[in-house]
Chain A
Amino acid sequence: MNPVNYLYLAALLFTIGASGVLIRRNAIVVFMCIELMLNACNLSLVAFSRMHGNLDGQIIAFFTMVVAAAEVVVGLAIIVSLFRSRHSASVDDASLMKL
């Protein structure tokens, strides 16, 4: 099989996700974009798995999903508490970690 189309799609998704992370200020959107990037990686993993005919890639994709789920739990908790304290979900408002 030819994985090229899958890879193009994965690259496209990754790029959309990356630009979203860089451009958007809303923490929720940034968060979703990160998920998009993760899923782009998952897509290419699955595609390669199919191409090579073994299950390694799919197993790693499952791991990624588990990690992503855990990340959602922690990340959303942070965003919620940030929103509570600052009444804003903008990532630029949380810029205290500097010298």
Chain B
Amino acid sequence: MDNAENLIALLVAAPLLGAVVLLLGGRRLDRTGHWVGTALAGASFVVAVVLFTEMLGRPGDDRTLYQHLFSWIPVGGFQADVAFQLDQLSMTFVLLITGVGSLIHLYSVGYMEHDERRRRFFGYLNLFLAAMLLLVLADNYLLLYVGWEGVGLASYLLIGFWQHKPSAATAAKKAFLVNRVGDMGLSLAIMVMFTTFGTFAFGPVLDSTGSASEGTLTALGLLLLLAACGKSAQVPLQSWLGDAMEGPTPVSALIHAATMVTAGVYLITRSGAIFDAAPAAQLAVVTVGAVTLLFGAIVGCAKDDIKKALAGSTMSQIGYMILAAGLGPVGYAFAIMHLVTHGFFKAGLFLGAGSVMHGMNDEVDMRRYGGLRRYMPITFVTFGLGYLAIIGFPGLSGFFSKDKIIEAAFAKGGTEGWILGGAALLGAAITAFYMTRVMLMTFFGEKRWQPDAKGELPHPHESPRTMTAPMIVLAFGSVFAGGLLSWHESFVKWLEPVTGFDHGHAPLGAAAITTATVAAMVLGVALAYLQYGRRPVPATPPRGSLLTRAARRDLLQDDLNHVVLVRGGEHLTRSLVYVDHSLVDGVVNGTAASFGGLSGRLRKLQNGYARTYAVTMFGGAAVLIAATLLMRAV
């Protein structure tokens, strides 16, 4: 194919068309809309596969495709174009987004069957796909920013899809606001780029990092990290992700597990040249990654809500990716590899959770599950494979990608390497613990089912085929993706032209680290089995230790935000409203009032008596004459 690059726009256009048609189509499309949306997502995937084969047919260093659509904002030296760049990194994302996206569209057909606003749901999903593809295909930071905020909007609309629930509306608003703080970082980063380089296109900026000062690059790196923290729910901007689980489960699977939340990893990997030249910024990145991977894991251990436990896990796994991306060329490829395998198994886990909820009258509390493996065999098996993948069971996807990240962390060298590697290992143990907990509480043990709000006991049943089919496909991915990608380092070689690669030297041998990782996993599983497998799970949560209680409240992050930002903000705005009314307006009104008082006194002179006026006149005349005479005399 000669003009493969002309197809790139089609990737974005197909889901965008779907969004427009579905959102403007009106009730006529209520019965067919979901299939239209799914078909267009699938079409995008087909185009992605075509482009992928085209790309494979080219030599490794000539695989980047460009497509220039039109000049967007031309003002003086500020030239923003709508132009796409499809290289190996973008291609990986495009395949993941359209592939998992199409599966989740299919799943939603069944999941949202009884929702009267299903057409709109698919419109939003398509909008999300378009924005996410724009994000990874843009050839400059400003267009990336459009996609960046676009996915934020789609996320806002989808989290708040059930708007009549105040909790959903609040969660949606919170997600958008926290993301906006991150977006501020990205927009400032673009401003710094423009001031420094006079451009913000990937090519020129990343090629000329050598000529910029390290201070500028560190600032750029920190700003980009802020953006990544917002979008990828990393500490300190992680608080929105747990609440975002208010959205329908397919949304949690697609946006808040597989794709959108990984955009931060994409941003850091894409801007690798900047971070490589700014060690201080890299240190900040690995710190954020290490802290978040532990933070998320600890939160995940304490949650009883199945989706929130998985959300904590997502946070933690993205922490791994950020950590890897912060390690530089040693880690970029592994960050993306973990991102891909995580996309499979986490999406599968969420879809499994959705399937369980579907069968349990939308109950989310795991303490009211139990013994479900016999009632939902397909869900159990696919969920189980996802579980084995995420804890890093040898041979499954998660094992390959996570092991490499831990290895790379140790390879950082020195004390730093030990701390990062240790944190990653500890994280692996906790991951195994909380995932085993989820598994045991949901599928094993006694039935602890409770009647729902209408007083009906749930009748768990396997979900329809539109839902199980995507779960099965994703389970295959969870099992085989890791092995496939590590086969002869195929994935690393594929990405190398874009991200570069560097074999690190770990202080321990690779075998030792792998052994330690597996040992950590076994330890975590064993501990969880002792606590949740051997003993019955209480239907009401026990009081728990101080740490457990704090973890249930997301380690007090929300409380801190509430006290510092919400309360403080409320006081500030309230006092400013007062100031505006009484001080700013008061000065003006005071001036008016003093003029009013003066005129009130002056108007007494106007008493209506003709004789008074005559006196005034005579007086005036006398003064005039006196003045004239005086002037003469002088």
Contact = CB atoms under 8 A, between A and B. Distances in A.
Task: Check if A and B associate.
Answer: yes
Given A18-B618, A22-B618, A98 B611 contact: no
Contacts of A18: 618
Contacts of A91: 609-611
Contacts of B611: 21-22, 25, 91-92
A22 B615 contact: yes
Nearest to A97: B608
B609 A92 contact: yes
B71 interface: no
B606 interface: yes
Interface size band for A: 10 to 19
A96 interface: yes
B618 A95 contact: no
Contact of A95 (B603, B609, B614, B615): B609
A95 B613 CA distance: 11
A73 interface: no
A21 B613 CA distance: 11
Interface in A75-99: 91-92, 94-99
Nearest to A99: B603
A70 to B, nearest CB: 20
Contacts, number: 27
B545 interface: no
Nearest to A95: B608
B606 A98 contact: yes
Interface size band for B: 10 to 19
Contact of B614 (A21, A92, A96, A99): A21
A98 B607 CA distance: 6
B608 A98 contact: yes
Contacts of B608: 94-98
B338 to A, nearest CB: 84
A81 B608 CA distance: 18
Contacts of A21: 611, 614
Nearest to B599: A99
A16 to B, nearest CB: 14
Contacts of A94: 608, 610
B613 to A, nearest CB: 9
A91 B609 CA distance: 7
Contacts of A92: 609, 611
Contacts of B615: 22
Contacts of B614: 21-22
Contacts of A97: 608
A97 B603 CA distance: 12
Contacts of B606: 98-99
Contacts of B603: 99
A97 B608 CA distance: 5
A96 B615 CA distance: 18
Question: Which of B606, B610, B614 has the largest number of chain A CB atoms within 10 A?
Answer: B610
Contacts of A25: 611
A97 B613 CA distance: 11
Contacts of B610: 30, 91, 94-95
Nearest to A94: B610
Interface string A27-57: 0001000000000000000000000000000
Interface in B588-604: 603
Contacts of A98: 606-608
A81 to B, nearest CB: 16
Contacts of A22: 611, 614-615, 618
| Top 8 A-B pairs, shortest CB-CB distance | A95-B608, A98-B608, A99-B603, A91-B610, A98-B606, A95-B609, A97-B608, A21-B614
Given A22-B611, A96-B608, A99-B603, 10 more contacts: A22-B615, A22-B618, A91-B610, A92-B609, A92-B611, A94-B608, A95-B608, A95-B609, A97-B608, A98-B607
8 contacts: A18-B618, A21-B614, A30-B610, A91-B611, A94-B608, A95-B608, A99-B603, A99-B606
Interface of B: 603, 606-611, 614-615, 618
